A and B are shown apart, each in its own frame.
Chain A
């Protein structure tokens, strides 16, 4: 468990954030300039806060009132920078072992680095560099892993190449991971906990499923990024139609393609703008997924849109509709309605393990 409480004034900008990061991936999400990088630099010791306290379990890294400030080199944080920051004059092998060679063989194997060891950073692709940077951070046996938008500089295929490695890391190690991002599908896929940072303050924090399905979070995420995350389980395969049936507490969903073996857990992000609401069970429509839901919240946005929170079983869903539709349908909290989800609305980037 990482406990963070940081205050820092930097010119006009002030950072004042407090939250806990349990084991697993804690995503720090926010627009550029919201203070994400300053925050994780403070954890690493690269930025000294004006006040606050940072501790990993019982080990205090920084405490203004107790005058504790462990130097960067003594903090045992693994830091994966956005621009990898591999040492250009050292080959991959020497980059990896610069800070230590803890679990070297496993790390090399897990990240698929075996064939790169003799190469120099200048000859690596962006994705390979990030994998080496990740391996280098892991080999110094960190107590926390900090990742500052490690995929931001990569194109979609490279991202798809790295994400499984990070997922594996999350599932195999007990090291808390702080993952800074401004890409909601990355966050939805990887994070266990989500902290939304806005103008240097924590706007919302909590388990990722809860936070992403809360309608009041929509303005911070941006309307396109908003969408609930649900945990599902593969329940069956419709071979003739090439569909996979997923089971969750609110019912069953059909999604295109092969998504996994029966029984496998899948995390699914359902974009709010792709959820349609109907007052009566619709007939004669092409959408495959119609779920009975209860309206839990109605939160108007700044524009013509309204975010509607929905309960489906024990899970929360999120729909984004226009204010006009809301008025015309006379929707209200507590009302039973139907959520219609087009099977193709959920893209491959929204499905994780």
Chain B
């Protein structure tokens, strides 16, 4: 891996950090929305479903543009975050994390929702007859049984966040060391002559990360499946 210069290493560590933060921050919301979509009937359920899935079907550039308009320095949400909480998202790694989270969100919700839908509601009824409150049922029956789905959502979301390109580059550009993730680094290197070796190295790293994530998820999924007795 001699072809990995400081810029490339920065891109790799940045990508890992961005993806991790994106998935961790998105997870509670993804679990909540997946649960609501799987279990509750209410007015506007379909609308919520559509909104959640929008980033999956819109061109990523459009998502990136919308993020820029809303969360950029001049955007309404961006201004509030900046003035009240001192958080700047535009052209920062935090912005890259937001873009990755938004793009990964639909995939996470889908996987987690399947996890919730696979649970027999009869088990929750059984827990209720045993005197468990709604929160206790959620914490001791629903959530543990949804773990395989939640885990699948995390792996999918992480993989998606690692590969995110369009929305990220539109929202936060590709500033080396700041917002340049692996995909945008590869893209940038491709514009420069004689950078083939660095490109190949980053491509190899991407493949290793992807395979590692898949392998880990397989192992953990099997262990979990055994635990819930499936």
Contacts and interface: CB of A to CB of B under 8 A. Distances in A.
Interface of A: 44-46, 71-79, 81, 83, 85, 87-89, 98-100, 120-122, 136-137, 140
A232 B109 CA distance: 64
24 contacts: A44-B129, A45-B128, A46-B129, A73-B131, A73-B132, A73-B133, A77-B129, A79-B129, A81-B122, A81-B126, A87-B126, A88-B230, A89-B228, A89-B229, A98-B130, A98-B132, A98-B140, A99-B129, A99-B131, A99-B132, A136-B130, A137-B129, A137-B130, A140-B130
B218 to A, nearest CB: 20
A63 to B, nearest CB: 20
Contacts of A100: 130-131
Contacts of A75: 129
A180 B228 CA distance: 30
A87 B141 CA distance: 7
Nearest to A124: B229
B86 to A, nearest CB: 43
A212 B227 CA distance: 47
A85 B120 contact: yes
Name the residue among A75, A76, A99, A136 with the largest chain B CB count within 10 angstroms. A99
A37 B185 CA distance: 63
A44 B132 CA distance: 13
B4 interface: no
Interface in B140-157: 140-141, 144-145
Could you say which interface size class chain B belongs to? 20 to 34
B120 A73 contact: no
A98 B229 contact: no
Contacts of A120: 229
Contacts, number: 62
Given A46-B128, A85-B125, A85-B126, 4 more contacts: A72-B125, A73-B129, A98-B140, A100-B131
B210 interface: no
Given A88-B145, A89-B144, A76 B229 contact: no
B48 interface: no
Interface of B: 120, 122-123, 125-133, 140-141, 144-145, 227-230
A76 B131 contact: yes
Given A87-B141, A89-B144, A122 B130 contact: no
Nearest to B123: A85
A121 B129 contact: no
Given A89-B228, A121-B229, A78 B129 contact: yes
Interface centre among B123, B126, B229 (most CB of A within 10 A): B126
The DSSP consensus for interface residues of chain A is loop
Contacts of A76: 131
- The interface centre, meaning the residue of B125, B131, B140, B228 with most chain A CB atoms within 10 A of its CB, is B131
Nearest to B122: A85
A88 B126 contact: no
A89 B145 contact: yes
A53 to B, nearest CB: 20
A78 B132 CA distance: 12
Given A85-B122, A88-B145, A89-B145, A98 B127 contact: yes
Contacts of A88: 123, 145, 228-230
Closest 6 CB pairs of A and B: A99-B130, A122-B229, A88-B229, A72-B128, A85-B126, A79-B129
Contacts of B140: 98
Contacts of A73: 128-129, 131-133
Contacts of B145: 88-89
A59 B29 CA distance: 41
A130 B58 CA distance: 51
B122 A83 contact: yes
Contacts of B128: 45-46, 71-73
Nearest to B144: A89
Name, among A73, A75, A79, the residue most crowded by chain B CB atoms within 10 Å (CB to CB): A73
A140 B126 contact: no
Nearest to B227: A89
A83 B127 CA distance: 14
A140 B229 contact: no
A137 B127 CA distance: 10
Contacts of B129: 44, 46, 72-73, 75, 77-79, 99, 137
A76 B122 CA distance: 17
A85 B229 CA distance: 13
A100 B136 CA distance: 14
A83 B126 CA distance: 11
Nearest to A88: B229
B227 to A, nearest CB: 6
B126 A79 contact: yes
Nearest to A146: B129
Contacts of B141: 87
